[in-house]
Amino acid sequence: MSLVRTKPLERCASPLEALSELCAGFVGADALSFDCEEVSTEDLPYPFGRLLAHQQHMTRVLVAHYHSPLDLRVHEQHQVGNLYSRKITLALAQTSATVEYGLVRLDLSYMPPPVRRAILQERAPLGAIMIGHNIMRHIRPRWYLRFPAGSQMLEWFEADCSRALYGRLGTIFCDNEPAVEVLEIVTGIDKEKQ
């Protein structure tokens, strides 16, 4: 499969359209049913509201919440020209517990060469790279989602499907350009039991 982009997430009319757009090109995505529902930030239970309802890099929020650095695992990636996309998990460095499942699609033409190289090395979370290189950015979450227990999307990520998880879809703007599009689903694991 190859990376496909028909429109930016900013131009999608619904979270389901955005999910379809962001998942396009990934193995098994064409058979997915996007079995989730849009929720408001007020409907995000603890700790999901704290982890999702903000305009910061998820990397920074997760590190602060769990008091642990994060390890990046890239499960699948695609690149066509400057368009680069990957399916990832972020795990706590101390325990290997997964704290996020995600999809990232970005236009590398908005990144300076050192940042581009660091991203393509696939060793560090995108947020850590952008923060470390002081890339001018702002984050615009657009939709918050609830993925029910047994969700096909959660199965596709090989997540624990025994309970609902929550996530967000949004865009990261670099120098006011929509450079990065993300789906971030957090596990909300208990800090004390990690």
- What integer pLDDT is reported at residue 64 of this predicted model? 95
Q: Which of 3-17, 86-100, 102-116, 128-142 has the lowest mean pLDDT?
A: 3-17
Looking at residue 76, what DSSP letter applies?
E
Q: What is the pLDDT of the chain when averaged over all its residues?
A: 93
Report if residue 121 sits inside a domain: yes
According to DSSP H, which parts of 24-151 are helical? 48-52, 58-66, 113-121, 126-132
Q: How far is CA 8 from the centre of its chain?
A: 15
Looking at residue 10, what DSSP letter applies?
G
Residue 43: CATH number of its domain: 3.40.1410.10
pLDDT greater than 50 at residue 27? yes
Please give the average per-residue pLDDT across 174-185, as a whole number. 92
- What integer pLDDT is reported at residue 1 of this predicted model? 44
The SS3 of residue 13 is coil
Report if residue 2 sits inside a domain: no
- What integer pLDDT is reported at residue 37 of this predicted model? 97
> In angstroms, rounded to a whole number, what is the distance separating the alpha carbons of residues 98 and 74?
13
β-strand partners of 183: 103, 169
pTM: 0.95
Report if residue 194 sits inside a domain: no
Report if residue 6 sits inside a domain: no
Domain count, the chain: 1
Report if residue 192 sits inside a domain: no
Report if residue 37 sits inside a domain: yes
- Least Cα distance to 88 among 53, 48, 45, 59 occurs for 59
- What integer pLDDT is reported at residue 135 of this predicted model? 85
Please give the average per-residue pLDDT across 161-166, as a whole number. 95
- What integer pLDDT is reported at residue 5 of this predicted model? 66
The range of the structural domain enclosing residue 119 comes to: 12-186
Scanning the structure block, which residue is given the tokens 């918050």? 144
